[in-house]
Amino acid sequence: MSDEMFSHTGSSNAGLTKEIEILVPWGIIAGKVLGDSTNPPVLCIHGWLDNCNTFDKLIPLLPCDKYYVFIDLPGHGLSSSFPVGMFYTHFDFVALINRLTDYFEWKVFSLIGHSMGGNICCVYAGTFPEKADKLILLDVGGVYPLPMGLEVQHLRLSIKHYLQHETSNRSHKMYTFEQAKERLLGANPSLTEEAANILLERGVKKLEDGTYRFLRDFRHNYHVPTGVYAVNGLDFLSRITAETMHIIADDGITKNLNAKKMEVYNYFMDDGFNDCEYYRHVEVKGKHHVHLCHPERIIHPMTSLLERPLRPGLRSESSASKL
């Protein structure tokens, strides 16, 4: 191991991870790291309205000869929100990954993405295929499955809601911790109580009066104004050359898709990853947050991919992390 010994003040992964803050033009990107920074890097991106604690139970079970970086996306967890007047888009998150690779001076790295994080990882791997070695998708199709023909309506509503938010006087609601947990569990039936506690570690802030408020930017509750729709989603997926592992929960995301979205999902799954020389699709028992609630069910397929050597044609040299 390097001289980085890890100390973490939270309870879900105590003694294993090191907290990080990376300066960006709008504030900071917060996150955690685990492992020796001279090892091959793996960047982990969480799902919509979650935070990087979603990987706390999973990452320590993966091969220890990697350097894992898991971050809070902007407006999630402890990371800064975008300024008022800006929109959150998948393309901004893809650009964020490039900011991180520049910061860490990574030439080649691997990606793990859950739900929305998997969508972001896919768009990145299709845009910069020369940088992505391995790609692991956790209960996600690969891009947001918006049915064709709804793009204009989606964009219209998104812009309307964002602009209304800027002129509203909406204030944060305050909760007891148990109320906050009840709300989180109500909105995410795939979570266990333990999983909810883990996410709330960096998902809420305790105020002086003893109440709690959620830290996520409320704008994330609106549709993403600029997504990757069916009309061009297949193009992004078809450009992915990373060795890919697709892990789908049998009671996960596909159970919540309507018929039109399921049609788009199957379209992506059938035709989207044809150019990957190594592609595996695995179904496991569990719900959408199976990686957090039952990580032991997905360790074997993930490890089988991460232990494969650097795929041919990629540059293996990589500077040690700055951290």
CB atoms within 10 A of CB 36: 17
Pairing mode of beta strands 132-138, 109-114 = parallel
> Residue 1's Cα: distance from chain center in Å?
27
Catalytic, 318? Answer no
Fold category of 18-306 in CATH: Rossmann fold (3.40.50)
Residues paired with residue 23 on neighbouring β-strands, in sequence order: 28
Phi, psi of 284 (to 5 degrees): -125, 160
What is the distance between the alpha carbons of residues 306 and 177, in angstroms, rounded to a whole number?
37
Q: What does each of the 323 residues of the chain score in pLDDT, given as a tens digit?
A: 233 322 233 334 445 789 999 999 999 999 999 999 999 999 999 999 999 999 999 999 999 999 999 999 999 999 999 999 998 988 899 999 999 999 999 999 999 999 999 999 999 999 999 999 999 999 998 877 666 677 788 888 888 988 988 888 777 889 999 999 999 999 999 999 999 999 999 999 999 999 999 999 998 888 776 666 666 788 888 899 999 999 999 999 888 777 777 877 777 777 788 878 899 999 999 999 999 999 999 999 999 999 999 988 786 554 455 66
Q: Which of 12, 115, 318, 321 is catalytic?
A: 115
Q: Residue 33: what pLDDT?
A: 97
Q: Residue 277: what pLDDT?
A: 86
Q: Residue 166: what pLDDT?
A: 86
Q: Residue 1: what pLDDT?
A: 29
Q: Residue 267: what pLDDT?
A: 74
Q: Residue 141: what pLDDT?
A: 82
